[in-house]
């Protein structure tokens, strides 16, 4: 089945130690998103890629970076994790079919990676 | 800012009873609207979506939602709740998915 895969499901890192979360998709979607979801809160969009074009949300901290080496893979890099970065990180994909930015099809989510910072 | 709001933080319902979750939006144009469900520790699963056309939308797991422009609402309904419907429900809008705060549904036996 076509799907969005996130590895690992659980990640433990140390305060200040760089960490990378990965996302892959078999849907061949051209848009990929990273969301941060803290406990009992709604997901918050960090950034998204439209093909190779990177789009950062205005309030995403510089500590968060992303790479998309090809259509199938997208990585979230946290350069110096703080205790406040402990959260669930969700990857999603969609197929954007138009040029207006509104012809967006549904976003499909992966299972998420729960990050713990010690 | 354009957004969606979910007025109810927590709803408790008896198994077999009906369920309605409220969602209000504040977009000028006809928005894209979605309902997602999230079980504890899991990702988000799409229940249904509205882009245009028929205002009553059928989704998976027996859920439906009705788009009402006059009330700026997109409420989610299920006629008979099962214990497995206990989860967090998110309404979201527009192509970059502005999420509501979520509604936690508890199902009592």
Q: Scanning the structure block, which residue is given the tokens 């990929």?
A: A32
CA distance B99 to chain A (A): 6
Q: What is the CA B79 to chain-centroid distance, rounded? A: 14
Range with the largest mean pLDDT of A42-51, A65-74, B20-29: A65-74
Backbone angles phi, psi at B83, to 5 degrees: -55, -30
**Which two tokens mark A19?**
């960490």
Cα gap B21→B5, rounded to integer Å: 11
Interchain proximity B90–A114, CB inside 8 Å: no
For residue B13, pLDDT over 70 is answered with yes
- pLDDT tens, position by position, B32-67: 899 999 998 888 999 999 988 889 999 999 999 999
The closest alpha carbon to A97, from A33, A35, A49, A29, belongs to A29
Q: Is the pLDDT assigned to residue B85 strictly greater than 90? A: yes
CA dihedral over B28, B26, B67, A104, signed as positive or negative: positive
CA–CA gap between residue B13 and residue B99 (Å, rounded): 23
Higher-confidence position of A76 and B42: A76
Residues of B in contact with A101 (CB under 8 A): 95
Which of A59, A106, A110, A112 has the most B C-beta neighbours within 10 Å, making it the best mutation to test the interface with B?
A: A106
CB contact under 8 A, B90 and A43: yes
- pLDDT surpassing 60 at residue A77: yes
Tell me, what's the pLDDT at A97? 60
Could you tell me if A41 lies within 8 Å of chain B, comparing CB atoms? yes
Q: Residue A99: is its pLDDT beyond 90?
A: no
pLDDT at B47: 95
Which of A102, A106, A112 is closest, CB to CB, to B43? A112
Q: What are phi and psi of B71, to 5 degrees?
A: -110, 0
- At A46-59, the pLDDT tens digits run 999 989 999 998 89
Name the residue in chain B with its Cα closest to that of A115.
B41
Peptide bond into A20 cis (omega under 30): no
Is any Cβ of chain B less than 8 angstroms from the Cβ of A90? Answer: yes
Could you tell me whether strands B33-38 and B19-21 are parallel, antiparallel, or unpaired per DSSP bridges?
unpaired
From A42, A88, A112, residue closest to B102, measured CB to CB = A42
């Amino acid at each position: 089945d076509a799907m969005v895969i996130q590895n690992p499901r659980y990640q433990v890192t140390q305060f200040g130690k760089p960490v990378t979360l990965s996302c892959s998709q078999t849907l061949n979607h051209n848009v990929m998103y990273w969301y941060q979801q803290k406990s009992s809160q709604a997901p918050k969009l960090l950034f998204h890629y439209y093909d190779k074009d990177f789009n950062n949300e205005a309030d995403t901290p510089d500590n968060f970076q992303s790479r998309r080496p090809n259509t199938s893979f997208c990585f979230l890099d946290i350069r110096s994790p703080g205790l406040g970065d402990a959260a669930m990180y969700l990857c999603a994909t969609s197929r954007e079919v138009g040029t207006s930015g509104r012809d967006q099809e549904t976003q499909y989510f992966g299972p998420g990676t729960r990050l713990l910072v010690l | 800012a354009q957004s969606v709001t979910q007025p109810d933080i927590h709803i408790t319902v008896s198994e077999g009873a009906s369920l309605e979750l409220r969602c209000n939006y504040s977009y000028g144009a006809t928005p894209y609207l979605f309902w997602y469900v999230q079980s504890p520790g899991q990702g988000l699963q799409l229940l249904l979506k509205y882009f245009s056309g028929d205002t009553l939308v059928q989704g998976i797991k027996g859920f439906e939602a009705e788009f009402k422009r006059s009330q700026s609402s997109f409420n989610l309904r299920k006629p008979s709740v099962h214990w497995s419907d206990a989860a967090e429900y998110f309404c979201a809008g527009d192509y970059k998915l502005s999420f509501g705060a979520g509604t936690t549904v508890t199902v009592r036996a």
